[in-house]
Amino acid sequence: MSEQVKSSIPVRAGDIIQLPWQGSWQVRAGRLKAPVDLLGAHLPLLAVETKAGWTLARVQVSDDDAVWGLRLQHQPGELQLTLTGEWHTPPSWEVREFGGRDSMFSAIRSKLPAPGRRDPPAFERAFILDIHDTRGKLIQTFDDVAGFLRQCAGLGIARGSLLYLPGWAGLYDGNYPDYEPAPAAGGRDGLARLAAAAREAGAFVAPHLNHWALTKSRESDYPRLLEHRLRDARGRFGEWPGIALMGMSHPLWYVDPSSEPWIEHLSGRVELLQRLGIEVVFFDQVAPPLGDNWRRQTREFMRAMHARFPQMIFGSESVHADILNALGFAQLWGPVWSVMPEVPVLNPSPFLAEVVRPWLRILGHLSTPAPYPAPYAWTNFVYLAEHGPQKMFRAIWEFHRNSGVLPTARLVSTRTRASEKLLRRLFAA
């Protein structure tokens, strides 16, 4: 296994480097006084905007390998690039120059899979509305969310709204892959009522699923799935160990998502949601740099879901070039989850959102904070503890705006007065 590949491209002071790695970033040449390391590529490339045009540096990776790390280091007159990771076939760099942005974008897009639908979904904004948190506390019901939708309709912002529901099946991260609408939240009837209300208002409801996770506390109920656990390059079972601090997440096994039992089980769950009137499904942990990434299995799973449910709109936790044609939206992986805003020389950029616009819309990550103290499924607890929810919300709102993603807010629908004030200020015309 190779672990390092180096290259370099010429840069001049003032050139702007665009980086669709672990977010969507830009940095001005000459500002990197020390090396900067980025983990995981949405698109395995970077671009440099010069006075004469654009230079595109694309990473050539074999079909079942993944490049994990990109180290940037300025040397006099050049930018040194170092790829770090584990792969069977060493990657290489392809560097080309373009006279304009449009021709470069066309070259990038020509190497990506053709869009799987005619147009991306008509999302205009996204709301994260947690139903249960990681400790199983009910935060809001499906009928509460329907009331929030009526509130949005009164402000003229219901149409085009995506209502994303973590914890809709109960304890967040704690009962995968049961995926049954939680009785305490309203059960199947409550979710069906919410889906019908959303359709009438021109909005969308997106329950949260995980594309390969089996909660360890539920393994005894799924012996066939347990047999298909993934292994990493060293033969260890793939897993998410969970984070006990503040009850943030639960331990998970990673099951081969391309295995027949897994695809059949998840297809049954998506089919149930479809019968209840749901038109959008979000798959957590699709595309972030986790372990070996198991690219082939993830591709096969997403293609199977897209083929079985061609009218369903699927979303992923982050953008990945492999599966663009199976997706309608993706979250912007990175902040707040990865604490990337702490790297001062990197500035947010709309580059990634602009490149993938023919395929999908990008919205804020599950870790997006609420503007007020509230229980919810997941967020960067360190940032919240240091800065508080209001300051954190403002910072991430501005970050999203500068990244070209859909306006995204996490709210509690029963906090009507606080939500109304924010909705009027940020969303209403």
Whether residue 2 is predicted with pLDDT greater than 80 in this model: the reply is no
Whole-angstrom Cα distance, residue 185 to residue 40? 36
Q: Are 319 and 351 in contact (CB under 8 A)?
A: no
Quote the pLDDT of residue 97.
95
Structure tokens at 381: 């607890």
Higher pLDDT, 120 or 252: 252
DSSP 367-391: TPPPSS----S---HHHHHHH-HHH
Contacts of 133 (CB under 8 A, 6+ apart): 139, 167, 172, 247, 375, 376, 377
* pLDDT, average across residues 188-194: 98
341 pLDDT above the threshold of 60: no
- pLDDT of residue 337 exceeding 70: no
The pLDDT tens digits for 382-416 are 677 777 888 888 988 999 999 999 999 999 999 99
Report pLDDT digits (tens) over 149-166: 999 999 999 999 999 999
Handedness of CA 421, 426, 428, 429 (dihedral sign): positive
Cis peptide before 20 (omega within 30 of 0): no
Check if the beta carbon of residue 139 is closer than 8 Å to that of residue 165.
Answer: no
Q: Check residues 68 and 366 and name the one with the higher pLDDT.
A: 366
Residue 38 pLDDT greater than 90, yes or no: no
Alpha carbon distance 407, 426 (integer Å): 9
**Whole-number CA gyration radius for the chain:** 21
Helix (H) or strand (E) holding 79: strand 78-87
Nearest by Cα to 65 from 46, 82, 83, 85: 85
Considering the domain 125-426, what is its CATH architecture? Alpha-Beta Barrel (3.20)
| 35 or 104, greater pLDDT | 104
- The yes-or-no verdict on residue 330 having pLDDT over 90 is yes
Measured CA distances, 99 to 26, 50, 105, 259 (Å): 20, 10, 11, 46
Kindly report, residue by residue over 90-129, the tens digit of the pLDDT: 899 999 999 999 999 999 999 998 887 778 899 999 999 9
Annotate 95-142 with DSSP letters as a single string. EEEESSHHHHHHHHHHTSPPPSSSS-----EEEE--SB-TT--B---H
Alpha-carbon span 88 to 153, nearest angstrom: 53
Q: Encoding tokens for residue 267?
A: 């297809």
Q: State which amino acid sits at residue 90.
A: P
Tell me, yes or no, if the pTM score tops 0.85.
yes
Other beta carbons within 10 angstroms of residue 275's beta carbon come to 10
Binning pLDDT at 50, 70 and 90, where does residue 30 land? confident
Domain ranges of the chain: 2-110, 125-426
Q: What rounded mean pLDDT belongs to the chain?
A: 90
Half-sphere exposure of 77 (CA within 13 A, CB side): 0
Give the C-alpha separation, 358 to 338, whole Å.
Answer: 27
Between CA 164 and CA 409 the distance in angstroms is 10
334 compared with 207, residue with greater pLDDT: 207
Closest CA to 24 of 411, 420, 421, 400: 400
* DSSP secondary structure string for all residues of 35-67: -EEEE-BSSSEEEEE-SS-EEEEEEE--TT---
Place of tokens 């103290």: 373
| Mean pLDDT score, 367-382 | 76
What is the model's pLDDT at position 3? 72
Would you state the pLDDT for residue 221?
97
